[in-house]
Amino acid sequence: MHWIAPTEKDTATVALEKRLWDAADQFRANSGLKAQEYSAPVLGLIFLLFAEVRFSAQRARLEKAESSSRRGSRVDEPNAYHAEGILYLPPDARFGYLLNRPEAEDIGGKVNDAMRDIEKYNPQLSGVLPKTYHLFTSTLLKGLLKKVSEIPATMDYDAFGRIYEYFLGEFAMSEGQGGGEFYTPGSIVRLLTEVIEPYHGRILDPACGSGGMFVSSARFVSEHKKNPSAELSIHGVEKTDETGRLCRLNLAIHGLEGEIMHGGNVNSYYDDPHNATG
């Protein structure tokens, strides 16, 4: 993947974040689901829209190149997207397709199938994407898809990452004390980043949560006019599978990749799962 350079958050983005969150929180209240059951699926829809925006831009470039070339069509070749660090989305796994499904259909089942197909064509996301959309009614999912679609396709790619981070923070607060397991306030993460000055090398977070330290470190490198994807090697450990998946999704939406180990018997306090010490 390719690191997506940060931009300053403007007032329009701030207003959009709040509007989206207020709507998502209202949907949750009407769903009867707990915050921890609701957070990953909502974040998954934001990620899916982001993936489609990048996919569509690359598809347009391929179609333009095809019109002036005698080579065969590459618009439906996954490698033509992967080569640019972009996820390939099969037709039934695209946000627009899901958005246009009528409520009479099993939208939850179709979104679950879409997430499985994305993992199939993009193995780096294997086991990462949420597949619990069957817990939602089609009416609720239709409303959520419509609300997420309000994020402009013309928005800077980094803005999607910032919206994702904003939602992580809001979900953490809504879960109370439990939210601290996967989210550290941005101000603390930024302070730690400034102290360690991660210009280059390996980064190991033994309790990485949703990956805020990795994203902050990448921004630090980018602010010093270097490419984080080339300068940083990201390694993380997280005891819970759900939080580990949030971390991997957070990296993906920022154009980063890393070796994130989670769940099972992985324990970085007593073991060295990344062989970081020798």
* 171, 35 Cβ separation under 8 angstroms: yes
- CB 168 within 8 Å of CB 42: no
In the predicted structure, residue 255 carries a pLDDT above the cut 80: yes
* Dist. CA 269–CA 101, nearest whole Å: 47
What pLDDT is recorded for position 271?
64
Q: Sign of dihedral through CA atoms 166, 267, 130, 84? A: positive
pTM: 0.83
| CA angle 212–22–174, rounded 5-degree value | 50
To which H or E segment does residue 261 belong? strand 259-262
In a domain, 169, yes or no: no
Question: Tell me, what CATH number does 203's domain have?
Answer: 3.40.50.150
Instruction: Please tell me whether residues 128 and 75 are part of one structural domain.
Output: yes
Do 75 and 212 have their domain in common? Answer: no
pLDDT band at 270 (very low <50, low <70, confident <90, very high): low
Quick: pLDDT tens for 5-16.
555 566 877 888
Amino acid, single-letter form, for residue 242: E
Question: pLDDT by residue (tens digit) across 196-251?
Answer: 999 999 999 998 988 999 999 999 999 998 998 899 999 999 988 888 888 998 88
**Confidence at residue 178, expressed as pLDDT on a 0 to 100 scale:** 55
Which residue would you say has higher pLDDT here, 181 or 259? 259
pLDDT (tens digit, 9 = 90+) per residue, 117-147?
Answer: 999 999 989 999 999 999 999 999 999 999 9
Residues facing residue 238 across a β-bridge: 262
Evaluate whether residue 272 is within a structural domain: no
Same domain, 124 and 240: no
pLDDT, position 179:
54
Q: What is the CATH number of the domain that holds 116?
A: 1.20.1260.30
Please tell me the total count of domains within the chain: 2
Proportion of the chain above pLDDT 70, given as a percent: 87
Domain that includes residue 128, residue range: 11-162
